[in-house]
Chain A
C-alpha cells in the first residue's frame, strides 16, 4: 500500500482486521476438550448403541464415583478391518473393539497391542452374538437355513470380507453349519459339499457393503431378498419397526469380539483409565448392558436368558470348531473362500 489515498487504505485495513477476527473465531475446537481422561474408542460398526447408550455413561459415572474425575469418550465406527487399518496407519485410538481376532493379531504384529492381550479375562473376548438371516416379511423365498440362500434367483446382501469382520464370521457360519449338517446326516463332515453350498450362496450375492452396518442400511432401503448379519442387528431392526423377519439357522456360529488397549502413545495417566475401562467391560454391570443391547454375555449364560429377544439356537458353534482363528482364517477364509469360492465367480 503506497497510496496515500485514505479511503483505499482504510478499507483494506478494515477488511484485514475483519479477516483476522473471522479466522480466530473460526479455529476448530472439539466439542468435548480431550484431556488426559478422554478415551478414544475405535469399534466395529454394531458396537455403537451398546457403548453410547449404556457402557460409556455407566463407566463415566463409576470413574467419577471412585476417582472424582470426569471421563469423556470419543468414538469412531467402521468395519472391523477398516478400524484396524486406520489404527495401523496411526489413528489415535486408545481402545479398539473388533469383530475378529485376526485384526488384533495384525495390530500385535504392528506393535500397537501387547502380545499377551489374551491374558485379559475371557481370553480378551468381551461379548458375542449369533449369526442369523434377515428376510422380507412373510419369508417369500421360504428360507430356513443358510443352504436355502443357495437357491437360484435369491438376491443376497453380504458385507465385504475384505473390510468387514462380520462378513468373515458369516462365511465361517455358512461353511461350519454345512459341515455340521453333513456330519449329523452321514457321520462325516463333507467339506466338498460345504464348499459347493458356499459357492452357490456367493453366486447370489448382489452387493458387498463395507461393514455389517452398511449392509443393514442397504437392506433397509429395500434392496435384496436376504441379509446375513449379527443377531443383534436383526433385533435392532425389528425393534425399530423395520418390516423384516429373522431366520435363525439350526446351526450357526457365535461371533466373539475382542477388546484391546492400543499401547502406542499411551501416557501413564491414560493407560490407567484405558485399562480400567477395558477391565470394566467384563464387569457384571457391563455384561448386563451388553445383554440389554442384544449382545450375548461371555461371563454368564444366565444373563442371556434375561433378554427374551435373544433366540434359542439348536446347534451353536464357535471358532474353536475350526481349531481357532488362525486355522479358520487360513483354511476357510483364505484357502476355501478366497481360493475356491470368490475366484470362481
Chain B
C-alpha cells in the first residue's frame, strides 16, 4: 500500500508535480471564472456564489463537528442569525433604520461594519447555545442543537416587529468597494465604466471563503486546535492534560458560528431578501452532509464534498435534465421523447443525494478525503523487533543512578 506513495516523494523534484499543477490550475480557474463564464456563456455565475457561501458554512461547521467532535444539527440557525443581524443594521425595513441614521451610531449601517457585527452576534449566539449543551454528549447534544435550529426560524417568524416575520426583510444593504455598490452601479475602473453585474459578489464571496480557510487552518494548528482534537478523541484524557473542556467547547461553538455570521451577511445582501424558510432544518442537514461526505475534519475534504454536492444541486441536476430532454427530442421518436421527458433530476435530487449518502456511509464512512491517512501495520510489525533492540540499549546503562 505504502509502496505506491513512497517512490513518488524523491522523484517529485524531477518530474512535474501534478498535485501542485492541479492546485494552481484550480486556483487560476476559480479566480478567472466570472470571465470564463462570460466568454463561454455558461451562465453559472449565479450558482457559484451561493455554492461558495455554502462551502464556507461547511468550513465553519467543520470546526464544531470535525475538529471538536460536537454533532451540531442546527447550524443553519447561526447562518440565520448572521443574515438577520446584518439585515437588522442595514435594511431600510429594519426598526433600527428609524433611529440609526440620526444617531451617533450611523456608521453601523455600513455594510462591512454590519457584517463584522453579524460575525460577533453569530459568535456570541454560538457561545450562548454552547453553554447549556456542555454537559451533553453525542446524541443528546445533537438533539439540543436540533432544537436550537428549530427555535431560531420560529423566533424569526414570530418576532415580526423586528424581523418582518414570514414576509422577510427586503431590501438589505449592499456591500461596496470604493464608490461602487455591488449589483447596482456600473463601476468606474481607470476612467471607464463597466457593468459588472454580480461579479463583485463572486469575488467577495471567494475572498471570504479563502480567508475562512486560511484562518481555520491557523486555528487547527494552534493550542486550541490541539485541544479540540484531544476533547474529540478522549475527553477524560484531555482534561487530565490540562484542557478545560468547557472553554474549549465554547470556543468551538463560538468560532464555528462566527464564520456563518459573515456568510449570512453576504447571503442576505446577495439575495436582497431573507426570510425564515431559507434557514430551515434541511439547510443544516445539507451543510452537515457536505462536511461528512468530504471527510470530517479535513478542510480540503470539506471543500471537495461541498463542491460535489453543491455543483450537482445547483448546476448539474438542471443541466443534465435539460440535455436528456433535448436528446429525447432529437431522436425524433415520440415514445422516446416522452419517456425521456419524464426524466427529471431536479425533482429526484434529494433521492439521489440520499442514495449517495447511504452508499458512501456503507463503503467509505470516513468520507472521500479523510482527515488523516493512517499508515497501516507495516510499521508495527517491523518496530516491535526494533523496539526491543532499542529497549536493550535503554537497559544497558541502567546501573548508573542508585
* A and B are partners in one complex rather than unrelated chains: no
B→A interface (CB under 8 Å): none
